[in-house]
Amino acid sequence: MAKHFVCLSDSQWTMIQGPVNWSPPLPRRIPRTDFRKIWNAIFFILTRGCRWVDIPKNPDLYCSKSTAHRWLIILKKAHVFDRVLSGFLQAGIAEKKVDLSQVAIDGSFPPGPGGRKEVEHGHKGKGSLLHLVTDKEGKPLWITTTSAKGNERIQALALLDQLQISRCKDTKRMTICEADKGYDSDELRMEMLRRGYVPIIGYRKNRKERVETEDIYACFRASKKRWVVERSFSWLKRKCRRLLMRWERLPAVWSAFSLLGLIFMWLEILLG
């Protein structure tokens, strides 16, 4: 994929169309815009981080800003982006580009100016949170969004449940799940074990009873890979500049852009 996104290639568009499995509403009297132009416009906004009004006035490649914004919400409510991402993950597993023996979870804080839904004051300031789970090599598997006050422990379980739904869990053996001390909770560790994950989570300093993570790594002969999720966040925000700051007023639009960021990264992983 080019350094700066311009439009989807034929191979990329064919790959996106595969797992969609969705019939759009019946057309009205006005001819419907080509869906490829809609995806081009949305990806342009996602990668450039610009305003909706800055979509190029090129009818051969892009639709209008109002059409792109309207269809972004429609596709999100129809769970089209979820199906596309799940299809890409299955393709990555089939091509052995995903290592599910170990996963890592972490969160990132994009600031959010102004008054918007799911934008609140947290310990890092006013904004939202992105919650991401990656495989052993740092390839993104799923992402969720909350306000800055969102409970990271609840979102960790939501991410793991979504991996189960997307068939991204090795059911034949336990999977190691790494997280930092912000996820320190005995209840969370028990829930992870019930879901087939071995939690390797750092302990807060005020915990009297603790098991050193070094001993857990040695017991399971696992390597430290938690840093890969932080690298994935760096890659995601560098490629998809719309995720650097929470500009979206509607939570559905913000959540859609976060899923599209992973879809954009997987297009590069699968097609190069």
> What residues make up the domain containing 198?
98-232
What average pLDDT is seen over the chain? Answer: 90
Residue 1 in this model has a pLDDT that exceeds 60: no
Q: What pLDDT, on a 0 to 100 scale, did the predictor assign at position 173?
A: 85
Mark whether 78 and 105 lie in a shared domain: no
Q: What region does 222 belong to: left with phi over 0, alpha with psi -120 to 50, or beta?
A: beta
124 and 221 assigned to the same domain: yes
For 114, residues 6+ apart whose C-beta sits below 8 A from its C-beta are none
Q: How many independent structural domains does the chain possess?
A: 2
Rounded to an integer, what is the distance from CA 72 to the centroid of its chain? 16
Residue 1 lies in a domain: no
Q: Are residues 228 and 187 in the same domain?
A: yes
| Any domain includes 75 | yes
Here the CATH number for the domain that contains residue 162 is 3.30.420
pTM of the model as a whole:
0.92
Q: Does residue 65 sit in the same domain as residue 107?
A: no
Residue 261 and residue 255: Cα distance in Å, rounded?
A: 10
Do 106 and 203 reside in the same domain of the chain?
yes
Q: Sign of the CA dihedral 165, 163, 157, 252?
A: negative
pLDDT in tens, 85-139: 999 999 999 999 999 999 999 999 999 887 778 888 888 888 999 999 999 999 9
- For 248, residues 6+ apart whose C-beta sits below 8 A from its C-beta are 116, 254, 257
Which of 8-17, 113-122, 145-154, 191-200 has the weakest average pLDDT?
A: 113-122
Query: So what's the pLDDT on residue 3?
Result: 63
Q: Are residues 123 and 213 in the same domain?
A: yes
Residue 191 placed within a domain = yes
Residue tagged 């991410």 (tokens): 159
Residue 213 lies in a domain: yes
- Token pair for 109: 């804080």
Q: Is the pLDDT of residue 184 over 70?
A: yes
Is 26 part of a structural domain of the chain? no
Q: Is 135 domain-assigned?
A: yes
Asked, for residue 50, whether it belongs to a domain, the answer is yes
- How do residues 209-258 score in pLDDT, each as one tens digit? 777 788 888 888 888 899 999 999 999 999 999 999 999 989 999 999 99
